[in-house]
Amino acid sequence: MKLAVVGTGYVGLVTGVCLAKFGNDVVCVDTNTQKIEALSRGTVPFYEPGLEEIIRNNLEAGRLSFSTDLPSALDDALMCFITVGTPSLEDGSADLSAVRSVAETIGRSMKEYKLVVVKSTVPVSTCDFVRQAVAAELAKRREDIPFDVASNPEFLREGAAVRDFLEPDRVVVGVDCDRSADIMKELYSFLPPEKVIFMDIRSSEMTKYAANAMLATRISFMNEIAAVCERLGADVEKVRMGMGSDSRIGYAFLSAGCGFGGSCFPKDVRALKEFARKEGLEMQILQAVEEVNERQKHVLFGKLLRHFGCMKGKTIGIWGLSFKPKTSDVREAPAQALIADLAAAGAKVQAHDPKAMDETREALGDLQGVLYVNNQYDAVNGADALVLVTEWDIYKQPDFKKIRSLLASPVIFDGRNQYSPAEMKRQGFVYYSIGRGT
């Protein structure tokens, strides 16, 4: 099939590239000329395991191309995926201006039947809005070209995006007619049919928000449980094991930590709350999920302050700046809240991350006393404490002897419960983690 994919962020790029891998002819479109030029050379503007390799293979095979010209890309395409960003507006609602602009361009330039597939995370009813925007442009042209709109939310995780696309738990498709259902069935024929769940369009749009909101809720819930464990001398890791082994609960997304970040959970929780509010519904649970997460992002700073009394003049080594491992994405990353707290309190920071140092510097601006170092042990050198914020593999089994000899005082704050409290004690560290009685 011939496909156009509009928007080359995580979702668009991974969708386009993986669908090309299955033999489809795919044009990925973006308005950003520099990005399109780089992608045409096989260079991906962010770090995502496995993505560059598939892009290069498919470019070579001639099944994949990149363009800034949406009308031309649409010419041959049977389907057009909308995968543009839907950032938060000031009130928390999703900004649909990019979605609208793509829909209008489709309406202005299509010459024959198209199936428009909305993959961006969009509030319930957006497919109707897309249909109206396309129809309005066709009406201006006095054209009556048939088209359908389908919803096909994406559930991939950054850092595991390619695998999630190729081996999904499920694919959700929202359709309102047999014609679009048949095309979507053919598109996903590389998956076992029971993995492709068809439903009405609004339920499909809602599924995406409900799934992300549920996962975010589990995390904030566990962060609150962790706070209680800490006060009462229980160990949240043991509690997690005891809870997760119940098949009704499961283990996933029950890890307490220093808060969730990224471009999805914070934004989607806000957007769901906002579009429910516009219907007169206050989502109280999600309000709490957000508040608990905001508080959690400052939990490490609170522990540092309690340990040192005053942070002025202290030097803190930080490991991990991206919002989670295996990505260079730093959007709403807990490390930024910590660095900002430390800088405001007059502490110095020596920060390390395998992929996200430039991105963090760009996001925070040049803060006084914040140094980015290329070796993880340079972050520890002469520091008063080490703080682990993001659990990249290289931080999981570090050389603790070396850390002890480099630190000015042997103190570790572990924001992701990666180390064993008993082992840390044996190695002579003062050790703080999340929800484990310290």
Binding site for ligand UGA (CB under 6 A): 121, 154-158, 212, 215, 219, 253-255, 257, 260-262, 264-265, 323-324
- Candidates 266, 270, 369, 256; CA nearest to 311 is 369
Cβ-contact 415, 434 below 8 angstroms: yes
**Closer to ligand UGA at the Cβ: 211 or 283?**
211
Is 264 labeled as catalytic in the residue annotation? yes
Q: Which is nearer to ligand UGA, 42 or 168 (CB)?
A: 168
Tokens of 215: 């996962």
Distance CA 124, CA 300 (A): 37
127, 229, 264, 310: the catalytic one is: 264
Q: Which helix (H) or strand (E) holds 370?
A: strand 370-372
Residue 165 marked in a binding site: no
CB of 188 to ligand UGA, least distance (A): 17
Separation of alpha carbons 82 and 72, rounded Å:
16
Q: Is 235 annotated as a binding residue?
A: no
Work out how close the CB of 41 gets to ligand UGA at its nearest, in angstroms, rounded to a whole number: 26
Residue reference for tokens 């340079």: 378
Q: Which is nearer to ligand UGA, 254 or 339 (CB)?
A: 254
Q: Which helix (H) or strand (E) holds 5?
A: strand 2-6
CB of 109 to ligand UGA, least distance (A): 28
Of 106 and 337, nearer to ligand UGA (C-beta) is: 337
Is 267 labelled a binding residue? yes
Residues 381 and 319 sit within 8 Å (Cβ to Cβ) = no
253 is in an annotated binding site: yes
Write the single-letter amino acid at 253: F
Q: For residue 105, say whether it is annotated as part of any ligand binding site.
A: no
**Least distance from ligand UGA to the Cβ atom of residue 250, Å:** 11
* Assigned token pair, 274: 């906002």
Contact (CB, 8 A) for 398 and 352 = no
CB of 12 to ligand UGA, least distance (A): 12
Shortest approach of ligand UGA to residue 93 CB, angstroms?
16
Helix/strand/coil percent split, the chain, to 5: 45, 15, 40
Q: Is 317 annotated as a binding residue?
A: no
Measured CA to CA, the distance from residue 96 to residue 25 in angstroms comes to 28
Residue 324 annotated as binding site? yes
- H-helix segments, 26-148: 33-40, 51-61, 70-76, 97-109, 126-140
Is 198 marked as a binding-site residue? no
Pairing mode, if any, of strands 385-388 and 370-372? Answer: unpaired
Nearer to ligand UGA by Cβ, of 130 and 219: the residue is 219
Residue 28 near residue 11 (C-beta atoms within 8 A): no
Nearer to ligand UGA, 255 or 360 (CB): 255
Residues 220 and 291: their CA atoms lie apart, in Å, by 9
**Residues 6+ positions from 407 with CB-CB distance below 8 Å:** 317, 380, 382, 383, 384, 385, 386
Q: Could you list the active site residues? A: 264
Q: List residues forming the annotated binding site for substrate.
A: 155-158, 208, 253-257, 261, 324
Q: List residues forming the annotated binding site for NAD(+).
A: 30, 35, 86, 121, 158, 267, 331
Q: List residues forming the annotated binding site.
A: 30, 35, 86, 121, 155-158, 208, 253-257, 261, 267, 324, 331
